Amino acid sequence: GIQVEQSPPDLILQEGANSTLRCNFSDSVNNLQWFHQNPWGQLINLFYIPSGTKQNGRLSATTVATERYSLLYISSSQTTDSGVYFCAVEGEYGNKLVFGAGTILRVKS
Amino acid sequence: DTGVSQDPRHKITKRGQNVTFRCDPISEHNRLYWYRQTLGQGPEFLTYFQNEAQLEKSRLLSDRFSAERPKGSFSTLEIQRTEQGDSAMYLCASSLPGAGVTFTEAFFGQGTRLTVV
């Protein structure tokens, strides 16, 4: 099945810094989503981005489907950005999202 | 619309007991998914439904796990004869179908955290 790799596994930032999280996937995808998992375990939708670029406030994402990667940019980070960020993809044959192992982000004040 | 709702939020059970979790999807979503997440890992797919039909259940972890969606609305996930290794977060998601076998954006509930003692 499709493989999803996220990097870096851990990231510590000072408040106000910018960061880039990467998601590589091993095959063609129909669907790609970025999530933020809060301390209570809920997965919050950030982007639904099978291809192209989207922006939402301080966050933006770019997916280059032909090169099988996606990037999540966080600018001017805040302590509330801390948590785990997951990339999940739906492979070409559909049916389900396959998750990466996540990036743990810690933003210090 | 209040999003995907799961109940209970937390469950502590003794080894060997049966447990059942409920998921109410977003009302117009006819696809419903169950995932399991253990500490430090990403969510792992278990099964999914389109309306009341269970279209993939090969990832259900053993025959102690079963899921139903009898009227194509809410779903239940049952674990029989629980074991300590079943301790995890169980997540439910829903979406609309896309073209062919694909689907549109999936939304997750708050999860049910199971602890087996």
The phi and psi torsions of A90 (rounded to 5 degrees) equal -105, 120
**Average pLDDT value over all residues in chain A:** 95
Test A94 with B103 for CB contact under 8 angstroms.
yes
- State mean pLDDT over A100-108: 97
Q: What is the pLDDT of residue A84?
A: 98
Tens place of pLDDT per residue across chain B (117 aa)? 579 999 999 999 999 999 999 999 999 898 999 999 999 999 999 999 999 999 887 777 789 999 999 988 999 999 999 999 999 999 999 998 776 667 789 999 999 999 999
Q: Identify the DSSP state of A37.
A: E
3-state secondary structure of A23: strand
Q: Which residues of A touch B98 (CB under 8 A)?
A: 30-31
- The backbone region for A77, taken as left when phi is positive above 0, alpha when psi lies in -120 to 50, beta otherwise, is beta
Distance from CA of A17 to the nearest CA of B (A): 25
How far apart (Å, rounded) are the C-alpha atoms in residues B23 and B31?
A: 12
Q: What is the pLDDT of residue A70?
A: 98
Test A42 with B108 for CB contact under 8 angstroms.
yes
**HEC profile for chain B?**
CCCCEEECCEEEECCCCCEEEEEECCCCCCEEEEEEECCCCCCEEEEEEECCEEEECCCCCCCCEEEECCCCCCEEEEECCCCHHHCEEEEEEEECECCCCCECCCEECCCEEEEEC
Question: Is pLDDT of A81 > 60?
Answer: yes
Q: What is the pLDDT of residue A95?
A: 80
Q: Which residue among B41, B48, B110 sits closest to A40, beta carbon to beta carbon?
A: B110
- Tell me how many degrees the CA angle A26-A89-A105 measures, rounded to the nearest 5: 95
- State mean pLDDT over A58-83: 97
Question: Is pLDDT of A14 > 80?
Answer: yes
Test A98 with B91 for CB contact under 8 angstroms.
no
- State mean pLDDT over A28-43: 93
Q: What is the pLDDT of residue A93?
A: 74
Q: Report chain A residues touching chain B, CB-CB < 8 A.
A: 4, 30-31, 33, 35, 40-43, 45, 48, 86, 88, 90, 93-102
A1 or B84, which is more confident: B84
**Number of residue pairs across A and B with CB atoms under 8 Å?**
62
Task: Among A90, A97, A104, pick the best mutation site for testing chain B contact (most B Cβ within 10 A).
Answer: A97
Test A45 with B105 for CB contact under 8 angstroms.
yes
Test B102 with A96 for CB contact under 8 angstroms.
no
Q: Identify the DSSP state of A96.
A: S
